[in-house]
Amino acid sequence: MIQISTDDFLLANETQLIYENSTGFEPVRGNLKHWKGFISNIEETEIPIFANIYIQDGFPDVPPIVDITPRVNHPNVEDDGTLSLRILSQWGRSNHVYHVINDIKDLFTKVPAKPLKTKKVKKEARAPGLPVAAIPIKQLPQVQLTTTRAQQQHEVEKRSIDSSIGDYQTQIEQVSKEIEKERESLLKEGGVSVDTSAKEISISRKDDLKADISAIQDTLEAIQEKFDDGDMTNVDFLKLYKKYSKKGYKAEKQQNLISTGADDMTREEDKNLELEADLYSSIVTLDNLEYSYENNEIEQIAYRKQLRALIRGIFKARIQLERIGFNLEEFIKKEKIDERYPKGIHQLRVAEGVEIASATSIPFDTLKKIPAKTADFVSSSIELIDLTRLKSVARADLLLADIDEMLHILKTFPAVPKDYWVTGDLANWREIISKYKPQEVIKEEDCEKLEFQAARWLNDFRRLLKEL
């Protein structure tokens, strides 16, 4: 049986609400009781202002506390950096952290902060309807004035860290009975059995995994919505999507194992599941990457970086899984990856060399000798194929970057003969592409020829690997 603290449940709920209803704030070093985010710039400057939100012991009966960094001149900011808001002074259990975040942003939009060196606005001039928050907790310590801005900033950060540590210690020592009853009610509504005799609520491993899977699915949907709404960069979306896809895959497999009546996995089984999850999440993220690239939603440099990282991740997992008799085709069929993520599978086929019957597959028994260079050559080949296939993005400078990298890899690759025909062909194409202006899109006929050649180079490179 696994025990879950009350605060963990409440913080998870607040986290989901924050991501669904506000933007720009993230937990500091993974601490869900300390959130930090950008709110605006100091008036007539480019100096950013950040808000720290601390969820106090006793939440949601006790309001959070907010402090502003760096120190600014604002009618609602106290000398020690504490921020006063109506929602904090009139706090109720129906309020949430995302309400505080949105109110902070609204306040600083309506009443911009001024540099600290300007004349302090009298407290009577406080923004209308925003009284001083009566926070029923011990206030953060005053920051002593220092002679330099760097020292002031250091004191503010130190205060934030000290407060965060104090909150964490308090969380461990105390559990609110009122919140415990509320949580029991929520769990019962969700169909989870509750042991009311225990100080903390205990649930089975199976129920715990079921809750994890549901939370992960909600998270994936939330980050998809944030990305679709333009509140998240493509790179951040891909990283988060891979992370939670991996967690979801592992949780589902562990749940399936428990359903069969099996005991916990051995260390070796857990390691193999981790590798499978890495492979799975890399393929599904590759599917997202290709979709974004085809829809012109990601810059070329970011695409190149992500493509290389994913291909390397796939190769790394494959190398280790091959040692235990792993079969890629069985894995794809079992997980229905080709049906669910066709673009990811297509790129995997290109990388592995199984997209056509006559292609040569990469020999993973020898790949372990030089996985990084192999992955980079394959990635450059795939990028060349993508650029020339789409045609409209086949700029000379982008094509030359890939060709130069492929030439460099071949020249430093073990056992590649000096008269290797791919090296010579790459050099010839470099000369052809160099005649274009850097930002110029090459002719359609050259695109078609280069796409065909890039596929040939990649296939012959696989053949070369087999001979190593």
Q: What sign does the CA torsion over 180, 95, 121, 34 have? A: positive
Q: Is 78 a domain residue? A: yes
Number of domains in the chain: 2
Q: Looking at this protein, which amino acid is placed at residue 454?
A: A
Are 54 and 80 members of one domain?
yes
Q: What proportion of the chain, given as a percentage, has pLDDT over 90? A: 18
> Does pLDDT of 134 surpass 50?
no
Q: Is 199 a domain residue? A: no
**Alpha-carbon distance values, 173 to 4, 7, 27, 149, 182 (Å):** 15, 12, 22, 37, 19
Helix, strand and coil percent figures for the chain, each rounded to 5: 60, 10, 30
- Range(s) of the domain holding residue 304: 205-467
Q: Is 196 a domain residue? A: no
> pLDDT band for position 120 (50/70/90)?
very low
**Bond prior to 60 in cis (omega within 30° of 0):** yes
Boundary residue ending a domain (161, 189, 217): 189
Are 41 and 142 members of one domain?
yes
Are 316 and 364 members of one domain?
yes
Q: Is 334 a domain residue? A: yes
Boundary residue ending a domain (189, 219, 248): 189
Are 165 and 225 members of one domain?
no
Q: How many CB atoms lie within 10 A of CB 141?
A: 12
Are 181 and 235 members of one domain?
no
Token pair recorded at residue 37: 């985010």
Q: Looking at this protein, which amino acid is placed at residue 160?
A: S
| Mean pLDDT confidence for 245-272 | 83
The CATH number linked to 146 is 3.10.110.10
Do residues 373 and 412 lie in contact, with contact meaning Cβ atoms separated by under 8 Å? yes
- Segment (H or E) for 203: strand 201-203
Are 15 and 71 members of one domain?
yes
The CATH number linked to 331 is 1.20.120.1130
Are 452 and 377 members of one domain?
yes
Q: What is the pLDDT of residues 385-415, one digit of tens each?
A: 888 988 888 899 989 989 998 998 888 887 7
Boundary residue ending a domain (135, 159, 189): 189
Q: Is 231 a domain residue? A: yes
Three-state SS for 442? coil
**Per-residue confidence (pLDDT) for residue 353, from 0 to 100:** 57
Least trusted range by pLDDT, from 17-31, 113-127, 172-186 = 172-186
Q: Is 32 a domain residue? A: yes
| Mean pLDDT confidence for 268-293 | 89
